[in-house]
């Protein structure tokens, strides 16, 4: 601080005897009046010399004080990183540490990545250096982060999981770092612009000649007073500037902290709500029966596709786009995606993906490198035979900034809007998976609503055969219903497909017969789970995880930790469900874990509430989380290794969706009651947070 520098200067300047200017010149005046004294000229001469000495000493002290101030400022500037930048670096590092894949690069694990020829570095060591102010510049911090990922990518081959994970986290860091550097540059430019607008004051530092000229041309007391005023003004200006910067950074810090605590969710009654991260407490009754936010925001009229819901809603999970501080949301009729400002909720853009009156979006989209990937579905299958059907499912990539459609790939041949052709193949599951290495996006499609007469006749012949043909003669090349597909990220071209069905597939890497294989897996409403080779779509394994049904079977999404694949089994038909390894049976829903390398069932756990299990599962830290649609809205935590229930809680209303997990907390909404197949659901409007 300026005051500290001034105090330091006064301590370091040696104390000497100083005549005040008034005393000095009064002595000269007396000596000059004594004209009869022979020594008067000598005394005057000595007094003048002494005055010059005092002027010189005063100037020397000012010069030394200025040097000390400069030294202290330089010392402060070199003592460590700017506090606000340090905080932003800390937030960036924390995101890498809490990332599910960040465990590879923590202390004790990252050290095994490097050989002796490379500098050892890990994220926890970087965190320690940051806390102890060992980084003088932000570039030093960034260099260490890059060293961690560079070591991993150079030590492991390109197909190894750690190599790919390092590349993914490196891209994540570079994107965030570019954004931070841009913000810091803009802040610096604003500061320089404000400095230029300030009126110029007299310079604090003067060379020796200028100082002598000033002091010889003006009264010494005036010069000293002016020098003090300059120093005081400098202190005041610096204090004002520091206070302004402090308040500005405090506001930015509070905004960042609020955004980190913000939870984005959807239910049938409310689209967005900022909630404080109140660990261990339930957050209830934040929603009203009818909130017109989406309708007012978009101007869209609800097609009333959901039972008992007469307003515009969203059933998909909002996707956060940190690069642009925005939020992407799919609408449950019409089939529209909207982009919102993440901070203030203002509408940025609105894009129709399908103008069919019964088209909608239930898939939760995925953001990757400027693109937003999402599929379309519909409720047209409910129509009568005479009116059904013309809808065709499609997958699209949107520009995250403008909402423009970059590409859109349909799953069925064009029917020209006429009944009697191909229709259906909706894309409705969880989130599409992105394979950065192969530049693929993986999706799965639903069943056909209708097909041309020739296909219906072919299917009838197949049914009458003792041994159906393989491959099926009735499946034409452009019919991608009930399929898992790999599409090119940049063009939307179908790279491969396999007609199987299921919700959006997920990626995993496993060892099969001692060889590492990259797989993509999905679970069908039929209850079957499939794992395909990501390179060509060939089947690696398939397993009947549990009984199927109209509403599942597996539905809305599975989960994996690359050791096991976890799925719900809704068992909507209340069929006999044999549990493993006990071989006991139940007619309720439940949850299943399969060995990721071969599909063998490791364990099955029945829903203790004796209800269906429609919501997707989530897994973290060897714990599987799932919900139940029973009237009490039970949620469960299970041991991922054996399926044993570790913890449960009754939310008070049906739980149909999945759980979000972040920073040691799980978030779950309850009260969904608009399902066509589950009329007995209990309604509610609550969001819960549970933290460890």
> How much is the pTM?
0.58
How many C-beta neighbours within 10 Å does residue 222 have? Answer: 12
For residue 180, how far is the Cα from the chain centroid?
A: 15
527: nearest Cα among 608, 476, 589: 589
Residue 142 near residue 81, CB atoms below 8 Å: no
Residue 101 burial (C-beta neighbours within 10 Å; 0-12, 13-18, 19+):
middle
Peptide bond into 505 cis (omega under 30): no
Give CA–CA dist 361/389, Å, rounded: 18
Which tokens hold the place of 554?
């597996």
- What Rg do the C-alpha atoms of the chain give, in angstroms? 36
For residue 369, the model assigns a pLDDT of 92
Q: Which residue has the tokens 């599962």?
A: 617
Which tokens hold the place of 458?
């072919």
Q: What number of residues does the chain have?
A: 692
274-289 per-position pLDDT tens digit: 333 333 333 333 333 3
Give CA–CA dist 362/365, Å, rounded: 9
Helices (H) and strands (E) in the chain, counts: 11, 34
Give CA–CA dist 137/645, Å, rounded: 49
Residue 608 burial (C-beta neighbours within 10 Å; 0-12, 13-18, 19+):
middle
For residue 603, the model assigns a pLDDT of 96
Which residue ranges form the domains of the chain, and what is each CATH number? 2-79+198-258 (no CATH), 83-194 (1.20.920.10), 273-291+502-692 (2.140.10.10)
Residue 176 burial (C-beta neighbours within 10 Å; 0-12, 13-18, 19+):
middle
Name beta bridge partners: 566: 559, 593
441: nearest Cα among 478, 491, 511: 491
| 336 membership: H or E segment, kind and range | strand 335-341
C-alpha torsion sign, points 368, 370, 371, 372: positive
Q: Which residue has the tokens 């909130």?
A: 291
421: nearest Cα among 447, 454, 399, 395: 454
| DSSP SS3 for 598 | coil
Concatenated DSSP letters of 18-69:
---HHHHHHHHHHHHH-TT-TTHHHHHHHHHHHHHHHHHHHHHHHHHHHHHH
356-414 per-position pLDDT tens digit: 988 999 899 999 999 999 999 998 887 766 678 999 999 999 999 999 999 999 999 99
For residue 231, the model assigns a pLDDT of 75
19-58 per-position pLDDT tens digit: 333 333 333 333 333 344 444 454 455 556 566 555 566 5
Residue 138 contacts by C-beta under 8 Å, 6 or more apart in sequence?
A: 81, 85, 89, 180, 184
For residue 34, the model assigns a pLDDT of 39
For residue 403, the model assigns a pLDDT of 94
Task: Spell out, as residue ranges, where the chain has pLDDT lower than 70.
Answer: 1-80, 107-120, 193-224, 245-246, 248-293, 302-311, 384-386, 467-471, 501-508, 512, 674-680
Secondary structure (H, E, C), 446-495: CCEEECCHHHHHHHHHHHHCCCCCCCCCCCCCCCCCCEEEEEECCCCCEE
For residue 271, the model assigns a pLDDT of 34
Residue 328 near residue 400, CB atoms below 8 Å: yes
Give CA–CA dist 224/9, Å, rounded: 16
For residue 313, the model assigns a pLDDT of 81
Residue 381 near residue 389, CB atoms below 8 Å: yes
Residue 613 contacts by C-beta under 8 Å, 6 or more apart in sequence?
A: 568, 569, 570, 571, 588, 589, 590, 591, 607, 626, 627, 628, 629
Residue 385 contacts by C-beta under 8 Å, 6 or more apart in sequence?
A: none
Residue 322 near residue 256, CB atoms below 8 Å: no
How many C-beta neighbours within 10 Å does residue 311 have? Answer: 18
Which tokens hold the place of 18?
């100083």
């Amino acid at each position: 601080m300026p005051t500290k520098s001034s105090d330091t200067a006064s301590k370091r300047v040696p104390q000497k005897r100083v005549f005040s200017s008034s005393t000095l010149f009064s002595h000269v005046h007396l000596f000059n009046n004594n004209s009869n004294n022979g020594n008067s000229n000598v005394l005057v001469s000595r007094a003048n010399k002494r005055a010059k000495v005092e002027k010189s000493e005063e100037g020397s002290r000012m010069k030394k004080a200025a040097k000390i101030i400069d030294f202290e400022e330089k010392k402060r500037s070199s003592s460590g990183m700017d506090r606000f930048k340090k905080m932003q670096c800390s937030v960036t590092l924390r995101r890498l540490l809490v990332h599910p894949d960040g465990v590879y690069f923590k202390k004790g694990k990252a050290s095994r990545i490097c050989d002796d020829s490379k500098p050892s570095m890990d994220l926890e060591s970087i965190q320690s250096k940051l806390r102890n102010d060992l980084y003088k510049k932000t570039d030093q911090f960034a260099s260490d982060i890059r060293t961690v990922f560079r070591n991993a990518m150079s030590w492991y081959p390109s197909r190894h999981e750690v190599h790919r994970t390092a590349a993914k986290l490196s891209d994540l860091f570079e994107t965030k770092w570019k954004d931070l550097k841009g913000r810091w540059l803009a802040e610096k430019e604003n500061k320089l612009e404000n400095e230029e607008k300030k009126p110029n004051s007299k310079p604090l530092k003067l060379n020796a000649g200028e100082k002598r000229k000033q002091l010889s041309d003006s009264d010494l007391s005036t010069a000293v007073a002016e020098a003090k005023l300059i120093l005081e003004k400098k202190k005041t200006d610096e204090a004002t500037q520091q206070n302004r910067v402090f308040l500005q950074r405090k506001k930015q810090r509070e905004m960042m902290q609020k955004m980190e605590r913000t939870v984005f969710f959807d239910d049938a009654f409310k689209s967005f709500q900022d909630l404080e991260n109140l660990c261990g407490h339930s957050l209830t009754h934040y929603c009203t029966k009818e909130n017109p936010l989406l309708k007012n925001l978009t101007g869209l009229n609800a097609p009333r596709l959901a039972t008992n819901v007469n307003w515009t809603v969203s059933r998909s999970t909002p996707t956060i786009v940190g690069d642009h501080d925005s939020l992407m949301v799919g609408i449950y009729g019409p089939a529209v995606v909207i982009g919102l400002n993440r901070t203030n909720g203002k509408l940025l853009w609105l894009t129709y993906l399908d103008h069919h009156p019964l088209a909608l979006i239930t898939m939760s989209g995925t953001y990757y490198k400027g693109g937003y990937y999402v599929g379309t579905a519909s409720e047209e299958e409910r129509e009568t035979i005479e009116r059904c059907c013309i809808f065709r499912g499609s997958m699209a990539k949107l520009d995250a900034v403008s909402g423009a459609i970059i590409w859109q790939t349909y799953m069925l041949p064009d029917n020209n809007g006429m009944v009697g052709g191909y229709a259906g193949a909706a894309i409705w599951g969880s989130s599409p998976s992105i394979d950065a290495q192969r530049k693929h996006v993986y999706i799965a499609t639903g069943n056909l609503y209708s097909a041309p007469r020739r296909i219906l006749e072919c299917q009838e012949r197949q049914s009458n055969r003792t041994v159906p043909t393989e491959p099926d003669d009735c499946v034409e090349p452009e019919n991608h219903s009930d399929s898992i597909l790999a599409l090119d990220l940049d063009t939307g071209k179908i790279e491969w497909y396999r007609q199987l069905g299921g919700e959006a597939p997920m990626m995993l890497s496993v060892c099969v017969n001692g060889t590492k294989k990259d797989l993509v897996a999905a679970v069908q409403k039929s209850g079957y789970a499939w794992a395909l080779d990501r390179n060509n779509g060939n089947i690696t394994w398939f397993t009947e995880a549990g009984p199927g049904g109209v509403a599942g079977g597996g539905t809305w999404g599975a989960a994996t930790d690359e050791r096991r694949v976890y799925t719900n089994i809704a068992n909507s038909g209340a069929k006999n469900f044999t549990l493993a390894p006990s071989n006991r049976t139940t007619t309720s829903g439940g949850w299943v874990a399969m060995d990721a390398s071969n599909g063998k069932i490791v364990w099955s756990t029945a829903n203790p509430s004796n209800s269906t299990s429609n919501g997707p599962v989530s897994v973290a830290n060897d714990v599987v989380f799932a919900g139940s649609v029973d009237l009490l809205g039970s949620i469960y935590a299970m041991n991922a290794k054996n399926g044993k229930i570790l913890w449960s809680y009754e939310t008070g209303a049906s739980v149909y969706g999945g759980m979000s997990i972040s920073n040691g907390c799980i978030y779950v909404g309850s009260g969904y009651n608009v399902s066509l197949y589950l009329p007995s659901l209990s309604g509610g409007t609550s969001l819960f947070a549970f933290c460890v």
